[in-house]
Amino acid sequence: MPPGTAPLDTGETQDARREDPSSEVTPGAGTVATTAGELGRPATIRDVAALARVSHQTVHRFLQGYEGIRPATRERVVEALAALEYRPNLTARSLTTGRSMRIGALTHELDQFGPSKIIQGAAQAARDAGYVLDILSLDMGDPEEIDRALETVTQHDLAGVLALASTDHMAQAFGAANFRVPAFLAGEEDEFASDHPSQLTSVGFPALIDHLAGLGHHRLLHLAGPSAWSAARNRARAFETAVAGHGLVSDGVAHGDWTARSGYEVISALPSDLGFTAIVAANDQMALGALLALGERGLRVPEDISVTGIDDIPDAAYFSPPLTTLRVDFVAQGRRAVEHLLARIAQREPADDDALISQLVARRSTGAAAR
């Protein structure tokens, strides 16, 4: 279903008004009493009250779901509400209550699979709880960017802030920040650790290494992400742990920057005599680059060498060959982060969550070790 693309147009425009003089207006009933949908200011609670010939407070009570309103009164309110197409002004509401129903999400690299999926999950969870997720996508690289974002955040009164930090730099900046509202600083979900509650080897990083070991691989190369990323470190650590646990040999760690290009370059630069028989890339993109580099070196995958990724991006199933990888549930991570934040906002303990466990997805990029 998902499209690969969705660009924009020359721009149809539309006006923010509508002709619909379907309702009656009480003549002289206050300043406004505009007809529904007219271009004038939207109806307020007092306009509704005037039309219904009650006090604004009665309208307010109705909107709050208060039961003790006489049926006759209630009916007039309902009618006025409909006639004026009343919509509560959330700005005014949050000014008095001091609470808003908006959560700010500070993130970056939104064009990447992981972050965007996390945001998707977070947006879902927020919406389910009646909140709106305001996404503030930071442009890293600009050092002032974070400061400006924080400034923004503190001004738009938010119910809470979700700070999605991927790198140490961001984590540090967020950690030092004074958001003035409940904040939840989320970093890397360490779901690859082998000391996980679940001892199953059929899932998670151990499953991946187990899979490779079962195919006869002994020497493995880890193609890691940049070490400033907690995700990269966690994955590298999980790799080492799992390798050691299986009595295999790590042939060292090469560092890329998550991109396919870096995977390509790292593998291309390797000396001609590869000591390992399998490459465990820290994400699918780098695995993609590795596949290309291996092909150019005349090595077949998986006959000569096996390659695995992490994430299971949608395209991974259609690489040449289709990539064996660990599926990560980013959406759940985003949802969980919001739930934690909501708990914090409500000043209650967050629900214990199940461990997120990545799933091994075996495809054709892994095969029996050569010779």
Interaction residues for DNA, span 54-73 (CB under 7 A): 54-58, 60-61, 63-64, 67-70, 72-73
Query: In this complex, which beta carbon is closest to DNA, that of residue 178 or of residue 199?
Result: 178
Partner in contact with 221, chosen from DNA, a copy of itself, none, beta carbon below 5 to 8 Å by kind: none
x/- map, 94-113, DNA, by CB under 7 A: -xxxx---------------
Cis previous bond, 302, omega within 30: yes
Q: CB of 248: closest distance to a copy of itself in angstroms?
A: 24
How many Cβ atoms sit within 10 Å of the Cβ of residue 50? 23
Give the DSSP per-residue string, 197-259.
S---SSBHHHHHHHHHHHTT--EEEEEE--TTBHHHHHHHHHHHHHHHHTT-EEEEEEE--SS
Query: What's the gap between Cα 152 and its chain centre?
Result: 20
- Hey, is 93 helix, strand or coil? helix
Q: How far apart are CA 122 and CA 129, in angstroms?
A: 11
Partner in contact with 55, chosen from a copy of itself, DNA, none, beta carbon below 5 to 8 Å by kind: DNA
Select from 53, 314, 354, 368 the one that contacts a copy of itself (CB under 8 A): 314
Half-sphere CA count of 65, side-chain side, radius 13 A: 0
Query: In this complex, which beta carbon is closest to a copy of itself, that of residue 21 or of residue 295?
Result: 295
Q: What are phi and psi of 183, to 5 degrees?
A: -135, 150
Partner in contact with 16, chosen from DNA, a copy of itself, none, beta carbon below 5 to 8 Å by kind: a copy of itself
Q: CB of 85: closest distance to DNA in angstroms?
A: 11
Q: Decide if residue 64 touches a copy of itself (CB under 8 A).
A: no
Partner in contact with 18, chosen from DNA, a copy of itself, none, beta carbon below 5 to 8 Å by kind: a copy of itself
Q: How far apart are CA 177 and CA 143, in angstroms?
A: 14
The interface with DNA within residues 27-56 (CB under 7 A) comprises 41-42, 44-46, 49, 53-56
Q: Decide if residue 320 touches a copy of itself (CB under 8 A).
A: yes
Burial class (CB in 10 A: 0-12, 13-18, 19+), 31: exposed
Q: What are phi and psi of 331, to 5 degrees?
A: -60, -45
Q: Decide if residue 258 touches a copy of itself (CB under 8 A).
A: yes
Select from 39, 92, 200, 244 the one that contacts DNA (CB under 7 A): 92
Q: Decide if residue 319 touches a copy of itself (CB under 8 A).
A: yes
The interface with a copy of itself within residues 23-42 (CB under 8 A) comprises 37, 41-42
Select from 168, 190, 240, 304 the one that contacts a copy of itself (CB under 8 A): 190
Query: In this complex, which beta carbon is closest to a copy of itself, that of residue 88 or of residue 214?
Result: 88
H/E element holding 137? strand 132-138
Stretch of 61-69, 131-139, 201-209, 243-251 lying at the interface with a copy of itself (CB under 8 A): 131-139
CB 125 within 8 Å of CB 339: yes
Q: Decide if residue 53 touches a copy of itself (CB under 8 A).
A: no
Burial class (CB in 10 A: 0-12, 13-18, 19+), 136: buried
Query: In this complex, which beta carbon is closest to a copy of itself, that of residue 65 or of residue 247?
Result: 65
Q: CB of 312: closest distance to a copy of itself in angstroms?
A: 10
Stretch of 27-35, 50-58, 82-90, 269-277 lying at the interface with a copy of itself (CB under 8 A): 82-90
Partner in contact with 158, chosen from a copy of itself, DNA, none, beta carbon below 5 to 8 Å by kind: none
Burial class (CB in 10 A: 0-12, 13-18, 19+), 200: exposed
Q: CB of 79: closest distance to DNA in angstroms?
A: 14
CA-based nearest residue to 166, from 191, 187, 195, 194: 187
Q: CB of 147: closest distance to DNA in angstroms?
A: 20
Q: How far apart are CA 113 and CA 171, in angstroms?
A: 20
How many Cβ atoms sit within 10 Å of the Cβ of residue 74? 18
Residues at the contact surface with DNA, assessed by CB under 7 A? 41-42, 44-46, 49, 53-58, 60-61, 63-64, 67-70, 72-74, 86-89, 92-93, 95-98
